[in-house]
Amino acid sequence: MPDTHAPDLVHFRSADISLIIERRGDALPRILHWGPDLGELTDDDLSAYALAQIPQRVTNSLDTFTPVAVLPEHAHGWMGTPGLSGHRDGTAFSALFQVTSSTVDADHGHRLVVAATDDAAQLDLDLRIELTPAGLLRQRATVRNTGSGTYTLDGLVLAFPVPARATELLDLTGRHLRERSPQRAPFTVGTHVRENRRGRTALDASLLMMAGTAGFGHRSGDVWGVHAAWSGNHRMLAERMPNGECVLSAGELLLPGEVRLATGQEYTTPWIYGAYGDGLDELSRRFHTHLRSRPHHPTSARPVTLNTWEAVYFDHDVPTLKRLAELGAEVGVERFVLDDGWFRHRRNDTAGLGDWYVDEAVWPDSLHPLVDHVTKLGMEFGLWVEPEMINPDSDLARAHPDWIMRAGDRLPPEFRQQQVLDLGNEAAYAYILERLDALLSEYRIGYLKWDHNRDLVEAGHAPGGAVAVAGVHRQTAALYRLLDELRARHPGVEIESCSSGGGRVDLGILERTERIWTSDCNDAVERQQIQRWTNLLVPLEMMGAHVGPSTSHSTGRHHGVGFRAGTALFGHLGIEWDLTAATEDELAELTAWVELYKRIRPLLHTGDVVHADHPDPALNVHGVVAPDRSQAVFAIVQTATSLHAPVGPVQLPGLDPHARYRLTPLPPGDVVAGHTRSSLPWWADGVILPGRMLAENGVQAPTLHPERLVLVQAQRLA
């Protein structure tokens, strides 16, 4: 799409999105429009639009109205949260930057690069504002101390203005085994803040802070959202001012004294992303398209994964593990992952973290016999690690107690019988790098399940016994450096971000990993919601989704193979089940589901995810539509008992409205109850309907028992 650049205004267009930026005078840039594409605009159009946005002056207000900048400044009259917070021993508390250069970087697509300075505060500022090919708006800022003393940075957040018609907020919360629970609230005057101080992205973190028109859903309503691509402490805000201005903003949350800039030193924010959509599905699709367009995004078929955790826990009996691998290979597994318990002193979760050597007492012949057995069966071998943690009961903690993060002489409270290893300590960092590098060099390991099982409490950095300072920022940066170095040394190894399940899910960690473990809960009912809302940010091929045992270890619910496998199908499918205890019928049914996954994963992992906004909360209808709209797969999921029976028509969105489709049940997901098929008239032979009718009117759904699902496929007719 052609861009327009008037002297003081920039109009970027990409993927049906328009971004209009005002850069008038020496003030920091302001976003005048971020949302639906406005088409081609002339310079006169842009100037007229900017003029038309200036409000009338009212009583008891500033004499001159200044729109909020991407870095909001109190000095310009912004009475909400300032973009930059900091001081020089109490002075230079309010920055006022003057732009020294503003350049449209044509070599990198839709990018505006701005340099500014505040001579009084002795600070320089660099801003980058980009509209990506996927239609995402992203911003990043660097602040630099040009003065002679120390500048203490307390915070730096970047703002994304949204229109006043965005009157409703949506964010996510949760806990261990129940991540990604949506919560809505009116977007009223004031500040709605979500702050995370857990030292990792967190189980209760909101992937996005979203604002939209009242009642927005998956398929309708204007909605805007922001995301901080950072795996440590962060904050997201939604602010509505009495004058009608509204912004979403985000940035890293800095602990007291965490960033102190000496002369010449600088701090750069993580990328802060913004997405607009006509409904949540479109907003989500922009993130998926962006991730899939990266050069390093995984493009090979996502292998069916068997993880040993819920099958054996710490009972690492080699013959049992070999038998488990054999059964996995028989049902179609392509990757076998040995979970926790393989290293020294690790017979339970109270000891051994940090002692990253194969336990000779359990593995007298090392891991080679199991690795060789797995690879001979045609599977890739993977290994669980938790490098950032340390048990006080470990050889490492006894040898190097100073490597534990702490706030002075006292240790933080234990969390799962473990403390945090200070990766900001160069000696500790070097030890972990050497151990992981040695394991990856010795064994044929194609995959690391990288866990992180506790929040960071009093995460102090005190190398060499020095006075402790807050260390979460340093720890997060060291983690990124460690992952980058390991990937450089072992480019063929894939890494999963696991953090008590979904505790570290963000675009910062996804730049360095191929998969996230969506939740430690494999209960299919819980997973329906957890996966639905995690998928708001993360595409299906990066979401670990496993078929757990018949009775869930975390909830006690009992489900058949079909409901468990049909739920795990919509992700990166795996198995976390003691297959040695499964019946022949269960193994046969599981094999059929694995075969289906392999057949349709090219669609699942490249297509657009869609959700029907069905009025019945007990019914979840979702699917994946091919980018060219030639085919689609939908799941009709009965999570609970419906008020009405039958439930009525279900809409199947996302298809080409002008094409005709043959809709048929998709085996083995065509079983309605036990071994019976539905008595619906269209179910046996399918039905042919236009895409518009399937989306608007839908089809009658089969009547399902609670906690059951069926699959249907749509094939476009020539």
Mean pLDDT value across residues 418-435: 98
d(Cα 98, Cα 583) in Å, to the nearest integer? Answer: 72
DSSP at 630: S
Give tens-digit pLDDT for 157-214.
999 999 999 999 999 999 999 999 999 999 999 999 999 999 999 999 999 999 999 9
Phi, psi of 568 (to 5 degrees): -70, -20
Give tens-digit pLDDT for 377-396.
999 999 999 999 999 999 99
Q: Per residue in 227-252, is it b (16+ CB within 10 Å) or e — as a string?
A: bbbbbbbbbbbbbbeeeebbbbbbbb
d(Cα 200, Cα 386) in Å, to the nearest integer? Answer: 14
Residue 204 falls in the annotated catalytic set = no
Domain segments of the chain as ranges: 4-292, 305-582, 609-716
pLDDT of residue 604: 98
CATH number 3.10.20.30 given to 305-582: no
Beta-carbon count within 10 A of 326 CB:
15
pLDDT at residue 675 tops 60: no
Phi, psi of 385 (to 5 degrees): -140, 160
pLDDT of residue 676: 61
Catalytic residue selected from 3, 355, 520, 523: 520
pLDDT of residue 62: 82
Residue 51 host element (H or E): helix 43-52
Instruction: Among 3.30.70.20, 2.60.40.1180, 3.40.309.10, 3.90.420.10, name the CATH number for the domain at 609-716.
Output: 2.60.40.1180
- Label each residue of 590-645 as H, E or C: HHHHHHHHHHHHHHHCCCEEEECCCCCCCEEEEEEECCCCCEEEEEEEECCCCCCC
For the chain, what percent of residues have pLDDT higher than 70? Answer: 98
Catalytic residue selected from 340, 355, 359, 451: 451
Q: What is the band of 498 on the pLDDT scale with cuts at 50, 70, 90?
A: very high
- Between the alpha carbon of residue 511 and those of residues 20, 138, 193, the distances in Å are 28, 15, 26
What is the average pLDDT score of the chain? 96
The mean-pLDDT minimum among 106-110, 177-181, 220-224, 236-240 falls in: 106-110
End-to-end alpha-carbon separation of the chain, Å? Answer: 31
Residue 375 host element (H or E): helix 368-376
Tell me if the pTM is above 0.85: yes
Mean pLDDT value across residues 548-555: 97
Please identify which residue in the block is written with the tokens 């997973």: 527
Residue 656 falls in the annotated catalytic set = no
pLDDT of residue 645: 81
pLDDT at residue 677 tops 80: no
Please identify which residue in the block is written with the tokens 């089809």: 699
Q: Taking Cα atoms as reference points, which of 443, 442, 432, 544 lies closest to residue 486?
A: 432
Residue 364, token pair as written in the block: 């007298």
Give tens-digit pLDDT for 1-35.
667 666 799 999 999 999 999 998 999 999 999 99
Contact 235, 115 (CB under 8 A): no
Q: What is the band of 674 on the pLDDT scale with cuts at 50, 70, 90?
A: low
pLDDT of residue 57: 87
β-strands 494-497, 469-470 pairing: unpaired
DSSP at 563: H
Q: What is the band of 466 on the pLDDT scale with cuts at 50, 70, 90?
A: confident
Classify domain 4-292 at the CATH class level.
Answer: mainly beta
Give tens-digit pLDDT for 281-306.
999 999 999 999 999 999 999 999 99
Q: Taking Cα atoms as reference points, which of 88, 140, 96 lies closest to residue 114?
A: 140
Contact 431, 439 (CB under 8 A): no
β-strands 335-338, 380-385 pairing: parallel
pLDDT at residue 673 tops 70: no
Give tens-digit pLDDT for 50-74.
999 998 888 888 887 788 999 999 9
